């Protein structure tokens, strides 16, 4: 893949995870990245953690060298930032990671440049991201190929229809938070049963990762893998009964739906 120079507008949580992962996996070179963030603490973070990255407070006059502009500010701020870029009059690939903001709105705000909408997630930072994207009609095949390879460099990537983006947000966009809650709760359970906190956390995180890896590597249905753990009359089936009684499945389904609904509202 030909490397592209990138400007990241909004160097917060997701911007750090995405650009950090892309630098870590050599998708982009630190020297080819410009971070625009008006927050001084955020600028300081970038300077301390990535000294080779160019860090500025405003996009004005700083986007010329960038082939791609990634918009990573909050959804409500996207239109204003996009208009600032449009005023620069440049023809760049615009990538928005904002939840809920549709391609049509983005495209109109940036003056109908090539636009791709991405829903990434924070594990991109450690090369274990799950991202989906959709492109507007002006985006070229080379643009789609670049974003696919860039996102694949930090995890798995899938092209979806724009109508599927809210569901993606509910699942993988917000999902790391649900699973971190699960890890924390599992560790709490083990602490309740007498394990030291640090060991409980390590075993909980590894168990979640191991279960996910089993699903991915074996291709077997999670129900089948679950059955393999539950011995007749054993410990696991007693725990599964408790989880069903307490509504874990319903809670997870409702969580994905709530996030997807909120994403639709943001548009």
Ligand X SMILES: O=C(O)[C@@H]1CCC=N1
Residues found near ligand NAI in the complex (CB under 6 A): 9-15, 36-39, 42, 72-75, 77, 81, 97-99, 119-122, 173
As measured in angstroms, the least distance from the Cβ of 10 to ligand NAI is 3
Q: Does 10 bind ligand X (CB under 6 A)?
A: no
139 contact choice in ligand X, ligand NAI, none (CB below 5 to 8 Å, kind-dependent): none
SS3 assignment, position 247: coil
Of the residues 99, 110, 183, 260, which one makes contact with ligand X according to CB under 6 A:
99
Q: Does 123 bind ligand X (CB under 6 A)?
A: no
Q: Does 174 bind ligand X (CB under 6 A)?
A: yes
70 contact choice in ligand NAI, ligand X, none (CB below 5 to 8 Å, kind-dependent): none
Stretch that binds ligand X, among 19-27, 133-141, 166-174, 203-211 (CB under 6 A): 166-174
**What Cα–Cα distance (Å) separates residue 234 from each residue in 87, 204, 206, 241?**
66, 20, 22, 11
Looking at the Cβ atoms of 28 and 200, the one nearer to ligand NAI is 28
| 102: exposed, middle or buried (Cβ count in 10 Å: 0-12, 13-18, 19+) | middle
11 contact choice in ligand X, ligand NAI, none (CB below 5 to 8 Å, kind-dependent): ligand NAI
Task: Report the 10 Å Cβ neighbour count for 240.
Answer: 15
Q: Does 169 bind ligand X (CB under 6 A)?
A: yes
Q: In which residue are the tokens 């083990």 written?
A: 190
Spatial distance between the Cα atoms of 197 and 195, rounded to a whole number of angstroms: 6
Q: Which two tokens stand for residue 248?
A: 């874990």
Spatial distance between the Cα atoms of 86 and 9, rounded to a whole number of angstroms: 14
**C-alpha torsion sign, points 234, 240, 242, 244:** negative
Looking at the Cβ atoms of 113 and 155, the one nearer to ligand X is 155
Looking at the Cβ atoms of 109 and 121, the one nearer to ligand NAI is 121
Spatial distance between the Cα atoms of 212 and 50, rounded to a whole number of angstroms: 31
Looking at the Cβ atoms of 66 and 169, the one nearer to ligand X is 169
Q: Does 120 bind ligand X (CB under 6 A)?
A: no
* Beta-strand pair 33-36/6-9: parallel
Q: Which two tokens stand for residue 118?
A: 């991405």
As measured in angstroms, the least distance from the Cβ of 77 to ligand X is 13
Spatial distance between the Cα atoms of 123 and 75, rounded to a whole number of angstroms: 20
97 contact choice in ligand X, ligand NAI, none (CB below 5 to 8 Å, kind-dependent): ligand NAI
Looking at the Cβ atoms of 96 and 174, the one nearer to ligand X is 174
Stretch that binds ligand X, among 123-131, 145-153, 168-176, 179-187 (CB under 6 A): 168-176
Spatial distance between the Cα atoms of 107 and 136, rounded to a whole number of angstroms: 8
In the complex, the residues that contact ligand X under the rule CB under 6 A are 99, 169, 173-174
């Amino acid at each position: 893949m030909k490397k592209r120079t990138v400007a990241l507008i909004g160097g917060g949580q997701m911007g750090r995870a995405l650009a950090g992962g892309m630098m870590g996996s050599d998708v982009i070179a630190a020297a080819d990245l410009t971070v625009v963030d008006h927050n001084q603490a955020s600028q300081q973070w970038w300077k301390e953690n990535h000294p080779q990255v160019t860090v500025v407070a405003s996009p004005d006059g700083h986007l010329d060298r960038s082939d791609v502009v990634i918009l990573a500010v909050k959804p409500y701020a996207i239109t204003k930032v996009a208009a600032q870029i449009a005023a620069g009059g440049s023809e760049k690939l615009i990538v928005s990671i904002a939840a809920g903001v549709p391609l049509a709105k983005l495209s109109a705000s940036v003056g109908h440049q090539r636009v791709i909408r991405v829903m990434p997630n924070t594990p991109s930072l450690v090369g274990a991201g799950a991202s989906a994207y959709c492109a507007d009609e002006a985006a070229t095949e080379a643009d789609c190929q670049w974003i696919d390879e860039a996102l694949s460099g930090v995890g798995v990537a899938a092209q979806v229809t724009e109508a599927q983006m809210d569901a993606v947000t509910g699942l993988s966009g917000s999902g790391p938070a649900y699973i971190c809650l699960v890890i924390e709760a599992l560790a709490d359970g083990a602490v309740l049963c007498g394990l030291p906190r640090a060991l409980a956390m390590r075993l909980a995180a590894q168990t979640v990762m191991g279960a996910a890896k089993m699903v991915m590597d074996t291709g077997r249905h999670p129900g089948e893998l679950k059955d393999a753990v539950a011995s007749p009359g054993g410990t696991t089936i007693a725990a599964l009964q408790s989880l069903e009684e307490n509504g874990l499945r319903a809670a997870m389904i409702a969580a994905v739906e709530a996030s997807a609904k909120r994403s639709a509202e943001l548009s």
